[in-house]
Amino acid sequence: MRKILFIILLALFTCNVYGQNNNPLRDSLDIAEKQLFLRPDSIDLRLKKARWNIELGEWGYAKDEYDYILRHQPDNIAALYFRAFANTKLGRYGFARQDYMNVLRQVPNNYEAKLGLALLDDKDNKKTKAYDEINLLVQAFPDSASAYAVRAGMEKDRQMNYLAVYDYNEAILRDPTNTDYILNRADLLLTLGNKEEARRDLELLVRLGIPRASLVDYYKRLK
């Protein structure tokens, strides 16, 4: 779940530095579909197939798999959580909210579900509620880099740029090699006119393996 949660965060609150080659994901999905054809009642295989659907952005197919799983296992936490995400991407916010609440009914302090609700409320234009929720999540999970990063993303969206820089600083302290956090901080520093610190972030990204050519637009803003 943590791996796919990271992918979700990238999709919602980070800049895309470089394109991804989806062929390996498609190959994995093809394998899962062939296995499922032979064992159509396998919950484990349906979870596997739905995972690849999620990573490929095939929200409707993923939702269909989770619907099947939850008809047979109504309290399957993984299926509830990821169906909530798929429903969010499909614009079915009420259904998504109910799935997150059903996760929290089973595991009241579940980090992923609470984070998902905050992101959902932000997307559903419940901005004050979403910001309150992410503030509570940061307080409850002060060691979580992703909580700080999501709050920074909300603050960036609200043009609370200095607060966003602070929260990206906190996220990077906890996850120092996360290139998406560093890139977002560099973007904010450029917006605020702090070119020297932005340059240091861009050079750090290059040292971490991001091709300089992928950052050309950011380097242009340094001039």
Least confident of 32-46, 115-129, 142-156: 32-46
What per-residue confidence (pLDDT) applies to 12? Answer: 47
Q: Please report the DSSP string for 50-70 in residue order.
A: HHHHHHTT-HHHHHHHHHHHH
34 has a pLDDT exceeding 70: no
Mean pLDDT in residue range 165-177: 98
> What single string gives the DSSP state of each residue in 150-165?
HHHHHHHHTT-HHHHH
Give the model confidence (pLDDT) of 76-91 as tens digits: 999 999 999 999 999 9
Q: Is residue 26 within 8 Å of 53, Cβ to Cβ?
A: no
pLDDT at 193 over 60: yes
- Residue located via tokens 């020297």: 196
C-alpha dist (Å) from residue 114 to 121, 141, 222:
11, 11, 38
- pLDDT for res 43: 78
Structure-token pair, residue 22: 């989806």
Return the structure tokens found at 125. Answer: 């234009």
Lowest mean pLDDT among 22-31, 84-93, 154-163, 204-213: 22-31
First-to-last alpha carbon distance for the chain, in angstroms, is 42
The answer to whether the CB of 115 falls within 8 A of the CB of 150 is: yes
Any alpha helices (H) in 90-160, and if so which ranges?
93-106, 111-123, 127-140, 145-157
Residue 161, number of CB atoms within 10 A of its CB: 16
Mean pLDDT, to the nearest integer, of 83-107?
Answer: 96
Cβ neighbours of residue 145 closer than 8 Å, sequence gap 6 or more: 170, 171, 172, 173, 174, 175, 178, 181
Percent of the chain with pLDDT over 90: 73
Q: CB–CB of 102/126 below 8 Å?
A: no
DSSP label of 14: S
Identify the band that residue 15 occupies on the pLDDT scale cut at 50, 70 and 90: very low
- pLDDT of 16 reads 42
Give the count of beta carbons closer than 10 Å to the beta carbon of residue 134. Answer: 26
Residue 221 CA, distance from chain mean position:
27
- With a threshold of 0.85, does the pTM exceed it? no
14-28, 124-138, 153-167, 172-186, range with the lowest pLDDT: 14-28
Let me know the angle formed at the C-alpha of 64 by 127 and 118, rounded to the nearest 5 degrees. Answer: 15
